[in-house]
Amino acid sequence: MRKSFHLTVLTPERALLEAEGVTQVQARLADGGPIGIYPGHAPLLAETVAAPLRYADPSGEHAIDLDAGILQVNGDGVTVFAGSQTSGVWRTPEVFENDEHFDRLARELLATLDAQPDGVLDSETE
């Protein structure tokens, strides 16, 4: 089992965060419940609410305040698509050359979610 994963936080404006060696992520889901994600977590696609996203990496524990969005867990790690960052100053590596790339990825993710019955992502969907 892997001991860490990659965390990416994206907004329509820019990539807010790219973190390697992440050992945990904590977020608040739209159903009101919190979720903890650790290495080896099952694939997941979920809606988040405006709340701090907390994570731990080799440099320590961190939090970033985000608007509501979509959280995706897959074999590559955790990706959070958020409306915007609500406060704080964070690393801002430029992963996308332009907003069109982010928009395309967000549309693909939403289409996958919409194609599932009752908005539930099938475990066999990649």
Q: Which position has the higher pLDDT, 113 or 63?
A: 63
Render 12-77 in DSSP notation, one character per residue: SS-EEEEEEEE-EEEEEBTTS-EEEE-TTPPPEEEEE-SEEEEEEETTEEEEEEE-SEEEEEETTE
pLDDT at 46: 95
Strand partners, 57: 60
Residue 123 has pLDDT above 80, yes or no: no
Domains and CATH numbers, the chain: 5-117 (2.60.15.10)
Q: Which pLDDT belongs to residue 26? A: 96
Neighbour order of strands in the sheet with 69-74? 15-22, 5-10, 77-82, 69-74, 44-48
Give the span between the Cα atoms of 73 and 60, in whole angstroms: 21
Q: With 90 as the cut, is the pLDDT of residue 76 above it?
A: no
pLDDT greater at residue 24 or residue 97? 24
Question: Confidence band (pLDDT; 50, 70, 90) for 84?
Answer: confident
pLDDT digits (tens, 9 = 90+) for 1-41: 679 999 999 988 888 899 999 999 999 999 878 999 999 99
Q: What percent of the chain has pLDDT over 70?
A: 72
DSSP 121: P
Q: Are 8 and 77 in contact (CB under 8 A)?
A: yes
Structure tokens at 105: 């990825």
Give the pLDDT score at 98: 53
Average pLDDT, the chain: 80
